[in-house]
Amino acid sequence: MDPESTDEEMFIFHIISPEALVIFLRNKYPVLSLSKMKAILLNAPAINIPKTVLHRYHEIQGFGADDETQFIKEAEDLPAAIDAFFDVLPAASDYSEAEIEYSKRQAIECHRKGGWIA
């Protein structure tokens, strides 16, 4: 997504946290090699958002960066985790509904192509 202002620092944010994706992959593919897991994580879909939006997102969500309970919840239902991210984004940003919906559709498609959601 484009920055809300031209001076904003951008941040690459994984819509499904890497920790949740690891949990998901270990449950679905228990014999997945470490090198394959690393390759999947490096290619996991992410979104480029302003740092201020990311900060507001975390304030609204109300969980920390290392909340194990949240990672497990994400891993149990990856489509719901994607929905949850994009449901909070309007309150955390000034992006239009159309911009958010477009980004959500792209994110879902990327996750489908990766084989993580149906």
Q: Which of 96, 87, 97 is nearest to 15 (CA)?
A: 87
Q: 3 in the Ramachandran plot: left (φ > 0), alpha (ψ -120 to 50) or beta?
A: beta
User: Where are the domains positioned within the chain?
Assistant: 10-114
Question: Is the confidence at residue 105, as pLDDT, over 60?
Answer: yes
- Name the band, by pLDDT with cuts 50, 70 and 90, for residue 55: confident
Residue-averaged pLDDT of the chain: 88
pLDDT of residue 66: 61
